[in-house]
Amino acid sequence: MSALLAEGRTIASSAGPGPCPVIETERLVLRPHRLDDADAIATSLGDFAVARMLTRVPVPYDRQDGLDWLNMVTSGLKPDWSFAITLDEVHVGVLSIELRHGLWHLGYWLNRFYWGRGLMSEAVDAALDRFFRRMPAAEVAVGAFTDNPASLRLLERRGCRIVGVTDVYSRARNGQVTLIDMRLNQADFATRPRQS
């Protein structure tokens, strides 16, 4: 925060989207995280097929890593939204909209055994719809690795615009990975082609 103040930028908590809501979709419930989500998070992120598509997740990933992350996101100290994606009350993934360096960022992952069912599309649509209703002037940054075609398709279908390509460090891969950097605003999201 002091670095932001030194740059002459401040982040007012009243400018945020408000507390993380509970969102119900046709199949899912997106809810704020609880500390008892640690085991499910550790199981999912302990799978290298999931962790390798993320930048900040260490390998191996265990329950204590999950608890450390949950302590941060459940503290209420940040304006971020961090959803547990649940299907039939089972924690199957995470979707977060975080404020970092003055820009909102969308991030997500899904347990590998739930891939290919359209669940993440459903979760992203619901979360972004609610977020843009509360923050209509916001622009959201998002990215996906070039070797993650499913995520790139998901983002394209939401109306995301490519703004660059960069190499980023992936903790899980212990190396540089090429990332497609994208942006999304309310107008792009509202005019996206609807899936039938």
| Tens digits of pLDDT across the chain (196 residues) | 444 444 444 343 347 999 999 999 999 999 999 999 999 999 999 999 999 999 999 999 999 999 999 999 999 999 999 999 999 999 999 999 999 999 999 999 999 999 999 999 999 999 999 999 999 999 999 999 999 999 999 999 999 999 999 999 999 999 999 999 999 999 999 998 876 4
Nearest to 107 by CA among 60, 164, 46, 45: 45
pLDDT of residue 139: 97
Strands (E), 42-191: 81-87, 90-100, 103-110, 139-145, 161-170, 175-185
Helix axes 63-73, 38-45, angle to 10 degrees: 120
The CA-CA-CA angle for residues 126, 117, 148, to 5°, reads: 85
Cα 52 to its chain centre, rounded Å, is 15
> For the chain, what's the residue count?
196
Q: What is the pTM of this model?
A: 0.90
pLDDT of residue 195: 64
Among 3.40.630.30, 3.90.1150.10, 3.40.920.10, 3.30.1010.10, name the CATH number for the domain at 2-11+19-190: 3.40.630.30
